[in-house]
Structure 1
Amino acid sequence: MKKNPDVVIIGGGLAGLTCGIHLSKMGQQVILIEKNEFPKHKVCGEYVSNEIKPYLDWLDLKIQDLNPATITQLEFSIPNKKTIHCNLPLGGFGLSRYTLDYHLYKKAIENGCEIIHDTVEDINFEDDLFTITTSELKKITTRITIGAFGKRSNFDQKLQRKFILKKAPWLAVKSHYKGKFPNNLVGLYNFEGGYCGVSKVENNIINICYLVNFESFKKHKNIDDFQANIIYKNPHLKEFFSNSTPLFDKPLTISQISFEEKTTIENHIIMVGDSAGLIQPLCGNGMAMAIHSAKIASELIVDFYTKKTISRKELEKKYIQSWDYNFKKRLKTGRFLASLLQNKKKSAVIMWLLIQFPFLLPQIIKRTHGKSIILN
């Protein structure tokens, strides 16, 4: 690997690793900086929409070798036990981040990416070049830097991004279980102050991940107390927790989750995945969006290096336009739906409407998902 790579990627989650695989496949020299070792569990719904399946095939990722769960159905309920079902328009698959991220990591290395386990301390942009300094005092210069920091990062604070300056009200809790749950189903279960997703991943493991308003959560002593007093009011969730065995010593948690709008370019850094925008988990599309955003950024970066007529200004403009075109409406819809589910009366009205007009639910799903990616 040459000392001055074409691209430096900061963050080794779904979006960062996908960028690394794509760019190295196209002959770009890539360094990816990630502070954590692989494999590693992450707080995530672990459902991936099939809209990005053609792109994963193009990257030669062979996802089927990981034995993902095939998911085709959605079940939605509120605490009064009313439940509706529908087919997922495109369907998807369940795969843990532990398995998927490690698979991407190995593919990135196979493709020739250099992966450095370190923490970025500073990024300076001057004279059309980035100088990146790590905690181990490595200095790397490059023309293109990709920000794949995730939901929130210390580096967001250093960049003084607007969303990080606001207090974020959300807490997420995730764990794996052994128990009974349909192989092809993703369940979305509303409770007071939040909602919970349940679905299978590889090896017949059940992933459960819920999002709750922290003000509601902190009224209780701990996670067990919260689940017993609030989550169990939804009978589907009570039945699941009562008859399942946890596989983690304790659940994973992440706080200060923000769904505020984010900038997609910050100090000329190209933001991808959750660093560019975080969709409400109830939409079940965050993983696919992260991977899709990596595709958009990578294609434009390849054009920047191979088609000398594309300037940095044009690259950034096209990325912002493409991000907005593909994701802005989805994010807006997700925020709107989440606000409705937070209100007990409104969520009851929504359920009544969906029961009376069952064709509405697939239409709502389509508004938070994209069409199957068409490769050029």
Structure 2
Amino acid sequence: MSSLTDKTAAEVYDCAIVGGGVAGLTLAIQLAQSGRRVVLFEKETYPFHRVCGEYISMENYDFLCRLGVPLAEMNLPVMTRFTLSSPSGVALHHRLDIGGVGITRYELDPLLARLAARHGASIHEGTKVTDVTFADEQFILTTSTGSTFRARTVCGAWGKHANLDGKLKRPFLAESRQGRQFVAVKYHLQLDYFPAATVEMHNFRDGYCGLSPLPGGLTNCSYISDLRNLRAHGNSVAEMERQVLMQNPLLRPYIEAAQRGDFTPVVISQITFRERSTVDQHVLMLGDAAGTIAPLCGNGMSMGMNAGFLLHPLLLDFLAGRISRAALEEQYTQQWRQLLRLRITAGRLIHQVFGQPQLTSAGIQVLRRLPFLTDFILKQTHGQAY
């Protein structure tokens, strides 16, 4: 185990956060800045790559700057255009009013971890939480190192799936085993040319691929596919790409570049988009742990940060004794649903259409004739600055 800030396991923390992505880290920074005792666990060691679109909506820009992230000094690409294509290559080009910036998780996550540690949070890298129990108004967390930690509150920010989902017997697991499952893949490509200031979304059969610029001339290429595509091609990512993704003529050059280059993909599988709960056995969920976020919701990183922003003042009220635990859980659930549920629902509905050749081709033809409808849909997948 490595720790950016050395704290004793005997201490009772105000909050323990399981998962060191942007949702968990930004919440840790806020709580530490408020003078609260925070411990955060990340099973990997920074820096590392994650499967992620690495696109941050401008709705989060000011928030990150307030936390101390020097975005204005990082020379990040800004995206103001959007391209959408069907599996056959029928394309829509449109402005992206809200827009966003591109930044790699390899850079952003350790930066946030350092900020949290600087404000006094205890960050434990290479440490997996294996169990969480609640009794007598206190949590006990057991880790892979054999240590135990105590905390008054626990927040789950462990992403799409983790062993703790099973430990907490979360209801979505039973349904997920019976529904559709997906695989997600990410590359960083060094391309000779990629349209400046543009986010591209290309459909293929039973899936879709997003591309967006990153600092240093890199392009993020990340896609999600029905797991059946992978299994039908001998569980070979490369063969699935050749036989399925490359059927889209606009996507083909990018995938060919990935297959020619020395780009090692990051892959996660058995992803589901079933509805989840925001609280399970008193653990407060945020990010994908609260409701696996389809990429078409706009931006999973932004929504994870939104949830942490909502949760922070509620946690302060609870820790100060101004509200009960029941009120904390109820108010967080209500506010989370009010802010994010419509967005997640919209993303899931679009997700069901994307990857279906006839529907996406027809839909794009309609959107090309009705640009105001495209504006409306894009607004459903982005939030307001805060």
Alignment TM-score, normalising by the size of structure 2: 0.93
Name the residue aligned to 1:34: 42
Name the residue aligned to 2:307: 293
| CA–CA separation in structure 2 for the residues paired with 1:81 and 1:278 | 28
Name the residue aligned to 1:226: 240
Match of 2:215 among 178, 195, 202: 202
Segments of structure 1 that go 5 or more residues without pairing to the other structure are: none
Name the residue aligned to 1:310: 323
Name the residue aligned to 1:9: 17
Change in CA separation of 1:244 and 1:173 when aligned onto 2, cut-off 3 Å: closer
Aligned pairs for 1:75-86 within 5 A: 75-86=83-94
Q: Report the AA paired with residue 189 of structure 1.
A: H
Deviation sequence 1:270-297 (CA, Å, 0-9, x none): 1111110122113331110011111111
Q: How far has the Cα of 1:65 moved from its partner? A: 3.1
Name the residue aligned to 2:137: 128
Does the 8 Å contact 2:187/2:258 carry over to 1?
A: no
Give the SS at the match of 1:143. Answer: strand
Q: Report the AA paired with residue 65 of structure 1.
A: E
Does the 8 Å contact 1:77/1:189 carry over to 2?
A: yes
Instruction: Verify: 1:263 aligned to 2:277, yes or no.
Output: yes
Match of 1:25 among 33, 38, 58: 33
Q: How far has the Cα of 1:244 moved from its partner? A: 6.0
Which stretch has the larger CA shift, 343-352 or 24-33?
A: 343-352
Query: Matched residue pairs, number?
Result: 372
| CA–CA separation in structure 2 for the residues paired with 1:144 and 1:201 | 36
| CA–CA separation in structure 2 for the residues paired with 1:169 and 1:187 | 24
Name the residue aligned to 2:354: 341
Instruction: Verify: 1:363 aligned to 2:376, yes or no.
Output: yes
| CA–CA separation in structure 1 for the residues paired with 2:137 and 2:260 | 51
Instruction: Verify: 1:50 aligned to 2:58, yes or no.
Output: yes
Instruction: Verify: 1:110 aligned to 2:118, yes or no.
Output: yes
Change in CA separation of 1:249 and 1:371 when aligned onto 2, cut-off 3 Å: closer
Instruction: Verify: 1:215 aligned to 2:228, yes or no.
Output: yes
Does the 8 Å contact 2:211/2:219 carry over to 1?
A: yes
Q: How far has the Cα of 1:245 moved from its partner? A: 7.6
Q: How far has the Cα of 1:303 moved from its partner? A: 2.1
Q: How far has the Cα of 1:309 moved from its partner? A: 2.4
Q: What is the alpha-carbon root mean square deviation over aligned residues?
A: 1.6
Q: Report the AA paired with residue 186 of structure 2.
A: K
Does the 8 Å contact 1:33/1:119 carry over to 2?
A: yes
Name the residue aligned to 1:325: 338
Change in CA separation of 1:169 and 1:243 when aligned onto 2, cut-off 3 Å: closer
Give the SS at the match of 2:371. Answer: coil
Does the 8 Å contact 1:47/1:284 carry over to 2?
A: no
Name the residue aligned to 2:294: 280
Deviation sequence 1:41-80 (CA, Å, 0-9, x none): 0011111111111211221211233332111111001122
Segments of structure 2 that go 5 or more residues without pairing to the other structure are: 1-6
Does the 8 Å contact 2:183/2:268 carry over to 1?
A: yes
| CA–CA separation in structure 2 for the residues paired with 1:194 and 1:255 | 14
Give the SS at the match of 2:251. Answer: helix
| CA–CA separation in structure 1 for the residues paired with 2:257 and 2:277 | 43
Instruction: Verify: 1:158 aligned to 2:170, yes or no.
Output: no
